């Protein structure tokens, strides 16, 4: 039977992360207080500390979870054989994954400077692993003459910046579907690395 007070450990934890992610994305980590988060969840501020050691830990947990989901979703994909198909797959995957998680993407980029040094290093290492996947695709394509890029590391960062930029303008319910956006960007990516 329903209770309005008492134990709710299985739903309060996820609710805190959900509310915190939304508020951090909207106003920024430093601008959001633990009281605001608690109020959004429907508990008192003190209750939050049953789920996180402190505010920093809450932010870090959100960012690490996002990066790990990104790597897991990527690893779960069947990788095509040739570099061109791999690049198209990466492009479509990146856009679809990031468009569905606008808040997490925004927070994971904007709040890097608010992470403790150790937490920052952890997140950066996860991000590097993701970038390395794209760079490997580009390098294989260059090796077999399918692609030509001036510098594989810079091309990697340039393409990721371009693709993630979708998040600055795309709004669900607009004139374009996710697949249409994927196709538009894939056209530019394909040509950008063409020989």
Q: List interacting residues with a second copy (CB under 8 A).
A: 26-31, 110, 113-114, 149-151, 154-155, 157-162, 164-165, 168-169, 181, 183-185, 187-189, 191-194
The entry of a second copy, DNA, none near residue 128 (CB within 5 to 8 angstroms by kind) is none
CB of 94 to a second copy, least distance (A): 13
CB of 78 to a second copy, least distance (A): 27
The Cα 37–Cα 48 span in angstroms is 9
For tokens 């061109």, what's the residue? 84
CB of 109 to DNA, least distance (A): 21
The entry of a second copy, DNA, none near residue 77 (CB within 5 to 8 angstroms by kind) is none
Q: What are the phi and psi torsion angles at 173 (to 5°)?
A: 90, 5
Q: What is the dihedral of CA 24, 26, 27, 30, to 10 degrees?
A: 10
The Cα 99–Cα 77 span in angstroms is 18
Q: x/- string (CB under 7 A) for DNA, residues 22-61?
A: ----------xxxxx-x---xxxxxx-xxx-xxxx-----
Task: State which H helix or E strand residue 185 sits in.
Answer: helix 178-192
Written as six digits, the tokens of 172 are 């669900």
Tell me the H-state helices in 32-78. 34-41, 55-75
The entry of a second copy, DNA, none near residue 12 (CB within 5 to 8 angstroms by kind) is DNA
Chain center to CA of 33:
23
Residues in 3-22 at the binding interface with DNA, rule: CB under 7 A: 5-9, 12
- The nearer residue to a second copy, 47 or 162, going by C-beta atoms, is 162
- The nearer residue to DNA, 42 or 80, going by C-beta atoms, is 42
Count of chain residues binding DNA (CB under 7 A) = 25
The entry of a second copy, DNA, none near residue 172 (CB within 5 to 8 angstroms by kind) is none
CB of 26 to DNA, least distance (A): 14
Residue 16: partners with Cβ closer than 8 Å, 6 or more residues away: 37, 41, 48, 51, 52, 58
The entry of DNA, a second copy, none near residue 194 (CB within 5 to 8 angstroms by kind) is a second copy
For residue 136, the SS3 value is helix
């Amino acid at each position: 039977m329903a209770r309005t007070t008492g134990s709710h450990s299985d739903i309060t934890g996820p609710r805190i992360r959900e509310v915190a992610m939304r508020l951090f994305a909207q106003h920024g980590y430093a601008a959001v207080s633990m009281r605001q988060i608690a109020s959004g969840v429907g508990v008192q501020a003190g209750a939050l500390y049953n789920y996180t050691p402190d505010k920093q830990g809450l932010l870090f947990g959100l960012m690490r979870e996002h990066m790990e989901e990104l790597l897991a979703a990527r690893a779960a994909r069947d990788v095509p054989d040739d570099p061109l198909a791999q690049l198209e797959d990466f492009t479509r995957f990146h856009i679809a994954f990031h468009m569905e998680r606008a808040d997490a993407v925004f927070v994971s980029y904007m709040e890097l400077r608010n992470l403790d040094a150790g937490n920052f290093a952890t997140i950066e290492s996860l991000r590097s692993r993701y970038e390395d996947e794209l760079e490997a695709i580009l390098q294989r394509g260059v090796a077999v003459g399918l692609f030509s890029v001036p510098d594989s590391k810079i091309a990697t960062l340039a393409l990721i910046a371009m693709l993630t930029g979708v998040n600055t303008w795309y709004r669900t319910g607009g004139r374009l579907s996710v697949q249409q956006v994927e196709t538009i960007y894939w056209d530019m990516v394909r040509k950008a690395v063409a020989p």
